[in-house]
Structure 1
Amino acid sequence: MPNSAPGRLRGGAPEAGRLPPRDDGPFVEAAWLYYHDGLNQTEIAERMQISRASVVNYLAEARSRGWVRVHLDSDVFRGHRLAAELCAAYGLAEAQVVPDDPVDPAGTGRVTRAAADWLPRLLAPGDRLGVSWGATVYQMAQQVPQFPVPDLTVIQLLGSRPAALGFAPEACTAMLAQRLGGQCINLHVPLILSDKGLRDALCAEPVVQAQLEALATCNKTVLACGTCDAEAHVVRSGILDPEGIAAYRAQGAEGVICARLIDAEGRPVITEVESRMIGVSLDQMRDKDMALLVAAGPGRARPARAALRGGFVTHLTTSTSIAKELLEMTP
């Protein structure tokens, strides 16, 4: 990262287990000289009368403590030629195209980081943000900066699903609410019940009914669109089995939005668990003021295209390789 890379310093009491305040000075001073004054590491070493290796360690410590956040302005990615072509081809309001990582071409880190930096700029006071789930959304949520949005409400879009995957729906929602300073509304019910009658009875409970009414009021969403293969999130979390997803794929299923399957045109592919599921409907996911799709990882071009064609997306963050695949397909 160049010496002139933008950064942000933020103070505050050190967390438990960290060095006492009197020891923070060298880390703050080194970070200030590097990120605000534009000095290089050799110049900082001379100014502070320490070794260059110490400067490197101080800067690394300042970043690990969360005092410094370095980012590229999202305008860089939105100005990419492929971003303009995606907007024209698919009728998007805006798109970001992030360079593929040469070390890890199948990695998702660059895309989720770019989406995390962009999301706060897409929100306004009073917005009601609906949050999908999955590894991509969870990874993005972890990287969103502390950026309070006045009067923001962050809403879980589907019920919970016990799974040892580390990215439950309530975790994605709560993390985004905390980082964006918003009120959090979790949907405190299972995603899938054992029978439709039990599902309907639970939905009729006043507290659950109020939560379902809240998710219907979202004017903005952040989502991913999963694959329909044997490694799909809906398979790994036990919603469908490999044989089941293969059968639905044979019926035309190409993507998964909030545990609901869609075909290549974004139309519903009804599964046998739908009548027992509690969460946002596909109709409720369409036609939002802003809907940010984060498309990252192997095999995500076709699901992303299905979501784009189905009217679930207004804004897109993706990688160069996926952008090229999307443009090679018939929009």
Structure 2
Amino acid sequence: MAVTTRRRNLAQVSGENAVIQVAWMYYQDGRNQQEIAETLGISRATVVNYLQEAREKGLIRITLAAPAFTTHRLALELTERFGLRGAYVIPDEGTEAEEGFLRVVRGAANWLPDLIAPGDRLGVAWGRTVYELAEMVEPMPVEDLTILQLVGSMATPYGFTAEACSTRLAQRLRARCLNLHAPAIVSRAALAEELREEPILKAQLDQLETVNKLLFSVGTATSDSHIVLSGLATRADLDWYVAQGAVGVICGRFIDAEGRQLPGPMEDRMIGVPLPRLVGLEMGILITPGMDKVAATRAAIRGGYVTHLVTGTTVAEALLAAP
């Protein structure tokens, strides 16, 4: 009779409330699945299904505390070696490239709320890394936070355009979003100069001067780089910059091994934040999810763009192994 009554009581609860009730008993009360099933008069399989539904709906959050990663031996060595204020190192030994990528991005998404504060003006670069982070970060309001798109728009076959990255992150953090209503690059320098003087766009570009923190992933200077595949740079542009010593890309601008911007034929045609404006900010958060970006990451650190680094153990070891 008691079991029948419990079943009737749970059946009277709406579907989502039943899920929440099971999740609470499991995660907050510390009861195991069998105990929950017996208490509520449901099967253990139903308990498992409710817990899975709670995870899929984002009703629960399971994270490891940041110190588990920021006090990792490799994290401490990175901060000391490169003069960083913090590093977050994710174990990725033995993982496939895609799994390792997602682990590092998930780590960055978990750490980001600890790094931003009310009143911040967070400049956001573009690319898959930043977009996936925006998708993974837990929704949470940050008072008086502004997200700023640092690079103009571009025609791209990907979903992670510059405006998509900044807009999605702003939505997740309940922040104000300031996007650039212009292409990232145009055909002529004179046209770019005229566009920069348009009152609406000039006001948007002036806002970029107020950025105090930067969130980005450095790009590579290779033929399969996003800067080429998105059409922002041609293969001829890439070859020219590589010949000048380019090893990476930050916000659409090529940098050399010391992190210095390389002047060249693209610069006068681009619309976005001037790269020197991103040096020495209050905080520069760099996410490096793959071995292909080791040289570019080292250059970004040398150039003064980085105060905090999120990466995997394999990249961390590669960075530390270099002279």
Q: TM-score, normalised by structure 2?
A: 0.93
Contact persistence 2:93–2:314 (CA under 8 A) = no
Match of 1:187 among 176, 180, 189: 180
1:255 aligns with 2:248: yes
CA apart distance, 1:198: 1.0
Match of 1:271 among 243, 246, 264: 264
Q: Which residue of 2 aligns with 1:159?
A: 152
Q: Which residue of 2 aligns with 1:120?
A: 113
Please give the root-mean-square deviation of Cα atoms over the aligned residues, in Å.
Answer: 1.4
Matches within 5 A, 1:73-92: 73-92=65-84
CA apart distance, 1:241: 2.8
2 CA distance for matches of 1:105 and 1:44?
Answer: 39
CA apart distance, 1:265: 0.5
Contact persistence 1:132–1:224 (CA under 8 A) = yes
The alignment-based identity, stated in percent, is 48
Q: Which residue of 2 aligns with 1:292?
A: 285
CA apart distance, 1:120: 1.3
Contact persistence 1:159–1:191 (CA under 8 A) = yes
Q: Which residue of 2 aligns with 1:238?
A: 231
CA apart distance, 1:243: 4.2
The amino acid that maps onto 1:39 is R
1 CA distance for matches of 2:272 and 2:202?
Answer: 11
Contact persistence 1:155–1:173 (CA under 8 A) = yes
Contact persistence 1:154–1:177 (CA under 8 A) = yes
CA apart distance, 1:202: 0.8
Match of 1:36 among 25, 28, 35: 28
1:24 aligns with 2:13: no
Q: Which residue of 1 aligns with 2:39?
A: 47
Contact persistence 1:101–1:110 (CA under 8 A) = no
1 CA distance for matches of 2:104 and 2:292?
Answer: 15
Give 4+ residue runs of structure 1 displaced > 6 Å after superposition: none
Q: Which residue of 1 aligns with 2:221?
A: 228
The amino acid that maps onto 2:273 is V
The amino acid that maps onto 1:153 is T
The amino acid that maps onto 1:310 is G
The structure number with the bigger radius of gyration is 2
Tell me, what secondary structure is at the counterpart of 1:292? strand
What is the total number of aligned residue pairs between the two structures?
310
2 CA distance for matches of 1:38 and 1:329?
Answer: 47
1 CA distance for matches of 2:57 and 2:112?
Answer: 22
The amino acid that maps onto 2:70 is R
Q: Which residue of 2 aligns with 1:69?
A: 61
Q: Which residue of 2 aligns with 1:99?
A: 91
Q: Which residue of 2 aligns with 1:130?
A: 123
2 CA distance for matches of 1:62 and 1:181?
Answer: 23
CA apart distance, 1:45: 2.1
Match of 1:211 among 201, 204, 225: 204
Q: Which residue of 1 aligns with 2:10?
A: none
CA apart distance, 1:103: 3.9
Match of 1:313 among 271, 284, 306: 306
The amino acid that maps onto 1:87 is T
What stretches of structure 2 of length at least 5 have no aligned partner?
1-12
2 CA distance for matches of 1:244 and 1:204?
Answer: 26
Match of 1:200 among 193, 198, 205: 193
Q: Which residue of 2 aligns with 1:10?
A: none
Contact persistence 1:158–1:278 (CA under 8 A) = yes
Q: Which residue of 2 aligns with 1:148?
A: 141
CA apart distance, 1:295: 0.5
1 CA distance for matches of 2:238 and 2:45?
Answer: 53
1 CA distance for matches of 2:169 and 2:203?
Answer: 21
Q: Which residue of 1 aligns with 2:164?
A: 171
2 CA distance for matches of 1:256 and 1:185?
Answer: 23
CA apart distance, 1:105: 4.2
What do residues 66-88 of structure 1 show as CA deviations (whole Å, max 9, x unaligned)?
21121111121001000000001
